[in-house]
Structure 1
Amino acid sequence: MSILDKVKQMLGGNAKTEELARQGIDKAEQIAKERLGGKHARHIDTAAQKAREMADKIDEPDTTPPGTTPAPGRATPPGRGGTTPGPGQPGTTPPPYGP
């Protein structure tokens, strides 16, 4: 189940879902700015904008094929995708010194 489906389910799945999500984002943005006293306002604005973009997609049909998982927001770093790390990569033990 995608995050959008979860939001729809939590908010009742009615036509007001998108508007309720936007109101929640606005309120969270306001509270974060107040509590941080203006610090990190640029980051808060960026996060709120990304959340609004996702809220705009709430009423769109889910295009993810059944049985698959949507791609994550970040790519998996090299050597961390379930494979054994190669020499020199984090998570490896250096070779022993001496003969």
Structure 2
Amino acid sequence: METIECKYCDTKISYKTSANFIIFCPNCKRNIYLECEYGYGPVTPCNILLGNEKIGTVNVDENNKYFLEYRFEKIKLNKGYLDALWEAIEIVKKKISPN
């Protein structure tokens, strides 16, 4: 397990590392970390964590179309590769933010 501190609200978060993942702070709900194999290999599957809880995954189908599995939804993404991860971040941000 690794630990990261949110630069916005100082919440400490423990998480399990993997090849591709995005972390949102469970307290302030901001995206605080992205790690992926951009430039070295595939960026999917990419787990999306709210603290240490997995809330979604970005993946690609057999037709090379990217999608976000968020809780029980499957959301088609319009972009690919690294841009698909940024698109997914924006979608998740809207879904978890109270505003």
TM-score (norm 2): 0.27
Decide which structure has greater strand share: 2
Structure showing greater Rg: 1
Decide which structure has greater helix share: 1
TM-score (norm 1): 0.27
